[in-house]
Amino acid sequence: MALSWWVWLMLAAVAAASVWWLLSQQVGGVWRGLGSVLGASVVLYPLEAAVVRWLVQWIYTTPARFADRVLASRHVLPLQHYVAEGEDALAGLVAAAAVLLVIVTLVGMAKRSPRVATVLRHPLTRGAFGVLVLAVIAFVGYNLWVNFQFRQPHPVFYTDCHKLWFHHRDALDQTVAAFDAGAPGIEIDVRYDVARREYYIGRYDTPNPPPDQRTTLDQVFDAVGGRGYFWLDTKTIRYLTPAQAQQAAQDMHALLARHGVLSQAIIESDRPENLIYFSRLGLYTSYWIFNIDETAFPHTLWGQYLALMRIKRNYIRGGFAAISLDHRFYTPFVAWMLRGARIHLFTINDPETLETLVHRPEVKVVLTDTQRFDITDCR
């Protein structure tokens, strides 16, 4: 259960006492009915949690309606994630029901007992209530401020209705073939050689080739620089010192300017502290969140909320043009928290999912391994 057993026992005891008082004092029928419903929802929490777990597992494993959820794949998070989300939401509702039940009981007591009314009017009681109200106001105010700043204008990189780009073109012949196939843009994994001040194609999890065997970005832009857009996944920027990151940003700006593709490239990194040097030079930047490791994605709504508030602060401070993430993590809650940002997603090959996401206005780029460039948002 998302609620530990002792927390549930405490809430259940409070709920039972509140319902007993409401029923024994013969307060109004509406108050008794409301209190009974709220009390039952708290006391029956273990049963409700079991139902939620069963329901989530049924949805996750029923092939008739959810064919891609028979087994966890790279397109679906593990069952544990969805169970944790369901239990977390249920725990929040139960806690809210317990608080509301206490309020209903206190109101009933105040109506029935002058002594209780006197206690509720006591300065200490009012002070405690005032502190609670101030805490709620501070929490809501902080969220409103962050959301307001989050929605302020950011650099606009790509707004074309052809949103599907080729994923992972990591060889020169692949980049040429991608544009020949009709891709409006491609993603390239890029590394930076600090000593040579050179960008070249390469992943962080592959051996570092010697300089004479590298395909540099200079070569890529010489071959296809004017043919489309480039999502440059800078794999090694996250490991640079601030001074090295600043130099890397200057070298990237010079490289893109030399080939006339400043407006056609967006630089991606999951290290906002280093990515900010690129955005300060006027380069388009995409803040990669949650990496691709399922363990990096919080399994509870509260954990997601805390992570996303940190992400939003980084996005505001960095002045980034977009937020990019694995589409598995673009859940309804994440989408709601990130509303106002331009979203870049990867990697999707299912035509139905592509159709759905391409038509979402906040989604600007979707990486795919397919050649379904006929799927567009053009009207």
Q: How does DSSP classify residue 297?
A: S
pLDDT at 118: 74
Task: Using the predicted structure, report yes or no on whether residue 72 has a pLDDT greater than 80.
Answer: no
Query: How would residue 71 be classed by pLDDT, with cut points 50, 70 and 90?
Result: very low
Residue 103 predicted with pLDDT over 90: no
Kindly state whether residues 219 and 331 are assigned to the same domain: yes
* 88: Cβ contacts below 8 Å, ≥ 6 apart: 2, 300, 301, 302
Average pLDDT of the residues of the chain: 85
Q: Are residues 110 and 200 both part of a single domain?
A: no
Which one has a higher pLDDT value, 197 or 1?
Answer: 197
Q: Do the beta carbons of residue 338 and residue 204 sit within 8 Å? A: no
Sequence-distant (6+) residues with CB within 8 A of 297 are: 77, 81, 290, 304, 329
Q: State how far the Cα of 183 lies from the Cα of 371, in Å rounded to an integer.
A: 8
Q: What is the pTM of this model?
A: 0.76
DSSP state of 198: E
Among the listed residues 297, 280, 281, the one whose alpha carbon sits nearest the alpha carbon of residue 289: 297
Same domain, 202 and 111: no
Rounded to whole angstroms, the Cα distance separating 39 from 20 reads 10
Q: pLDDT band for 73, please (50, 70, 90 cuts).
A: very low
289 with 270: CB under 8 angstroms?
Answer: yes
List C-alpha distances in Å: 361 to 74, 228, 340, 357.
Answer: 24, 21, 10, 9
Q: What is the mean pLDDT of residues 301-327?
A: 93
Over range 214-228, report the average pLDDT.
90
Do residues 109 and 170 share a domain? no
Question: For 174-216, what is each residue's pLDDT tens digit?
Answer: 888 889 889 999 999 999 999 999 999 987 667 777 888 889 9
Contact 98, 14 (CB under 8 A): yes
* Mean pLDDT for the stretch of residues 124-148: 84
Higher pLDDT, 321 or 168: 321
Give pLDDT, residue 171.
79
Number of structural domains found in the chain:
2
Find the mean pLDDT for residues 75-104. Answer: 78
Instruction: Establish if 134 belongs to a structural domain.
Output: no
Mean per-residue pLDDT, 218-232: 91
Please check whether residue 376 lies inside any domain of the structure.
Answer: no
Are 180 and 74 members of one domain?
A: no
Q: Is the pLDDT of residue 93 over 90?
A: no
Instruction: Please report which confidence band the pLDDT of residue 69 belongs to, taking 50, 70 and 90 as the band edges.
Output: very low
d(CA 193, CA 257): 19
Residue 126 lies in a domain: no
What token pair was written down for 149? 């700043």
Closest by Cα among 217, 119, 107 to 169: 217
Q: Which domain holds residue 199?
A: 164-368
Buried b (16+ CB within 10 A) or exposed e, 237-251: bbebeeebbbbbbeb
Domain limit, last residue, from 104, 121, 138: 121
Residue 285 has pLDDT above 50, yes or no: yes
User: Is residue 255 predicted with pLDDT exceeding 80?
Assistant: yes
Q: Is residue 169 part of a domain?
A: yes
Percentage of residues of the chain with pLDDT beyond 90: 36
For position 123, what pLDDT does the model report? Answer: 81
CATH of the domain at 175: 3.20.20.190
Rounded Cα distance between 58 and 24, Å, is 41
| Residue bearing the bigger pLDDT, 77 or 192 | 192
Report which of residues 83 and 175 the model is more confident about: 175
Q: What is the chain's percent helix, strand, coil content, to nearest 5?
A: 55, 15, 30
Question: Do 194 and 303 sit in the same domain of this protein?
Answer: yes
Beta strand pairing status for 185-193 and 229-234?
A: parallel
Contacts 24+ apart (CB under 8 A), 307-316: 308/334, 308/337, 308/338, 309/143, 309/146, 311/287, 311/338, 312/146, 312/147, 312/150, 312/337, 312/338, 313/146, 314/272, 314/287, 315/150, 315/154, 315/272, 315/287, 315/341, 316/146, 316/149, 316/150, 316/152
Which region among 221-225, 284-288, 310-314, 318-322 has the lowest average model confidence (pLDDT)?
221-225
Banded model confidence at residue 75, pLDDT cuts 50, 70, 90: very low
pLDDT-wise least confident of 48-62, 137-151, 349-363:
48-62
Residues 219 and 87 in one domain: no
Distance, in Å, from the CA atom of 27 to the CA atom of 288, rounded to the nearest integer, reads 56
User: Of the residues 65, 90, 121, which one is the last residue of a structural domain?
Assistant: 121
Cα dihedral 337/341/344/350 (nearest 10): 50
Are the beta carbons of 187 and 169 closer than 8 angstroms?
yes
More confident residue, 365 or 8: 365
Query: Does residue 300 share a domain with residue 200?
Result: yes
SS3 43: helix
Rounded Cα gap, residues 376 and 334, in angstroms: 24
